Structure 1
């Protein structure tokens, strides 16, 4: 048998070529009985469906959206917060039929994913606002949604109340009686090591969490020691904690940019012969799936990671639909709440 086409199936079933096409692309136009019959014949003849590239060309759409990540893709899959966020996006997109393409800001062999990969729209997740990849997406004028980014005019944005959550975390330590407090944070640009607040150049999340911590510490007369690393993983948290704990007057409590960094801080404390929370209180941020499994369970700031992923994907599909219908896209800024979760990793200082 030669190449199987829509016409081949139409001739076998005794219907028009358009009817067969509708069975694949517009199933609501056919009765379930007729569609099942057409698909059964297609399966018998080994036909898998219209060519996706040709169908995209005819529709003027790709059927996929991009997710731009600053981190390496392998790093994203190693992070519980990122994987939970990805899962929520995938769940929200599933009924739409849109695929998800992961994009790194890195370039390879002259290929710039944000510039070169075909997509109907994109989610920009916690990226450096000065990244050339973000600039390329804006220049392409495709529907975008910013998540954990500085909001931009005309672009829907989803953030969490980072400043309020960080303020609550720092106030918790102040109320417990801590006065020597350290901060472990992360960011690609700017100074690393032991830094002053003015040395930090950060994106939306890092800036607002730092402001929140200082909102509570400064009125209490506390000047925190700050250790900053390029990444927010446990190893970076470990390295940052070592810098703080080796100081002549080490902190009795440490505020962390993320639960992942807090995990590294707890490990560094154990290696230094310190007990958490008797010798060192530790507070994370995110309430990642593993935070309650740490020993001791981690005091942290909860953000609803799944709600953030669902909201971001829903906003993007609405923007894509608006672009297809040539109608104004919603460009609202959604800010999800945070909540301090007190567990066993914090206590009054000795």
Structure 2
């Protein structure tokens, strides 16, 4: 910092203010300091800075390591939002099917984050087991969960996409098309997103005065959707509408129906969830629910920074990011 100050012909304090984005620094001075940093290849030492300021500029992020679309997109959005707020993200994947082993790995991860002097920890928690593993683990830094349908507590805050609202929108769209027999291709029961999408489907049907149709619990894969579709092609009582809990399972349904000559949407209307890349090119193009992951990441970082500054855990209403229904050719009026 002293070398940067000499090269930019400013004080050591001015360099510090530039590093901390202090608003009192004039634009011309800030640019001169930043140029001096670039010329000298200067990089702040976060750990040394933490010793002096008690602020590391680090946020720990725990992910399940899942390659599924939702968790991966959430991780990317959180990392980008953290960088935009001037923070670096230290990411660790924690996954284990054994509950005790998962709790141990989670405890080790939070201890490691404590040693890195992270200012806060964001846990991307798609599965119930992840939250259960956190129940008895302490953390020096404030905790924020990204998990649907989870209530905040004195130990952690929560933000989420409004998964239930998205499923309700897809279901309401089919009801408006005249469908009265609507099934649900659900995700795994231990995933929060799956639970909330199931809840939204049920609640929207009930509000329309309709009985829920059949439910198939899947594993998020196109293979599972294809297997269900092959069973349905020979079923004369199959529903005229199906709300799939993600786009991959919907893709499997579409392939099975297409191979058997079941018209979509003439015989069966299908909706998905996520709006993954390529859904507009499914055959037919898929009506689906789009999640705003960028907004989710920004909301998570905003909540995290509030917790860091106020040193409290918000226990009020959970910030819910709305979804958007994208209507395409896979849905249409119910057959007579």
Q: Give CA-to-partner distance per residue, 1:90-136, whole Å, 9 cap, x none.
A: 4432342111233323169x854344334321223343244268507
CA–CA separation in structure 1 for the residues paired with 2:28 and 2:163: 53
Quote the offset at 1:290 in angstroms.
3.8
Aligned mate of 1:345, from 330, 333, 336: 330
CA–CA separation in structure 2 for the residues paired with 1:149 and 1:124: 15
Quote the offset at 1:246 in angstroms.
5.9
Quote the offset at 1:316 in angstroms.
1.2
Does 2:182 align with 1:181?
yes
Aligned mate of 2:93, from 84, 104, 107: 104
Question: Does the 8 A contact of 1:67 with 1:123 survive in 2?
Answer: yes
Quote the offset at 1:247 in angstroms.
5.2
Q: What is the aligned partner in structure 1 of residue 143 from structure 2?
A: 144
Quote the offset at 1:255 in angstroms.
0.9
Quote the offset at 1:186 in angstroms.
1.1
Change in Cα spacing, 1:9 to 1:349, as seen in structure 2 (3 Å) is closer
Does 2:297 align with 1:313?
no
Change in Cα spacing, 1:138 to 1:268, as seen in structure 2 (3 Å) is farther
SS of 2:95 mapped into structure 1: coil
Question: Does the 8 A contact of 1:217 with 1:223 survive in 2?
Answer: yes
Summarize the alignment of residues 126-137 of structure 1 with structure 2, pairs less than 5 Å apart: 126-131=125-130, 135=134
Change in Cα spacing, 1:123 to 1:260, as seen in structure 2 (3 Å) is farther
Question: Does the 8 A contact of 1:105 with 1:133 survive in 2?
Answer: no
SS of 1:184 mapped into structure 2: strand
Q: Give CA-to-partner distance per residue, 1:246-270, whole Å, 9 cap, x none.
A: 6574443321112333223222322
Q: What's the TM-score, normalizing by structure 2?
A: 0.74
SS of 1:131 mapped into structure 2: helix
Q: What is the aligned partner in structure 2 of residue 334 from structure 1?
A: 319
Say which is worse superposed, 91-100 or 166-175, in terms of deviation. 166-175
**Unpaired segments ≥5 residues, structure 2:** none
Does 2:289 align with 1:301?
yes
Question: Does the 8 A contact of 2:63 with 2:71 survive in 1?
Answer: no
Aligned mate of 1:64, from 39, 58, 64: 58
Q: Give CA-to-partner distance per residue, 1:187-224, whole Å, 9 cap, x none.
A: 263xxxxxxxxxxxx53x32232122223445655452
Q: What is the aligned partner in structure 2 of residue 121 from structure 1?
A: 120
Question: Does the 8 A contact of 2:63 with 2:94 survive in 1?
Answer: yes
SS of 1:173 mapped into structure 2: helix
CA–CA separation in structure 1 for the residues paired with 2:324 and 2:287: 11
Q: What is the aligned partner in structure 1 of residue 83 from structure 2?
A: 94
Q: What is the aligned partner in structure 2 of residue 199 from structure 1?
A: none
SS of 2:242 mapped into structure 1: strand
Quote the offset at 1:240 in angstroms.
4.4
CA–CA separation in structure 1 for the residues paired with 2:248 and 2:322: 21
SS of 1:92 mapped into structure 2: helix
Question: Does the 8 A contact of 2:288 with 2:326 survive in 1?
Answer: yes
SS of 1:62 mapped into structure 2: coil
**Unpaired segments ≥5 residues, structure 1:** 1-5, 190-201
Q: What is the aligned partner in structure 1 of residue 215 from structure 2?
A: 226
SS of 1:61 mapped into structure 2: coil
Question: Does the 8 A contact of 1:281 with 1:345 survive in 2?
Answer: yes
Change in Cα spacing, 1:253 to 1:126, as seen in structure 2 (3 Å) is farther
SS of 2:141 mapped into structure 1: coil
CA–CA separation in structure 1 for the residues paired with 2:72 and 2:180: 36
CA–CA separation in structure 2 for the residues paired with 1:53 and 1:8: 19
Q: What is the aligned partner in structure 1 of residue 168 from structure 2?
A: 167
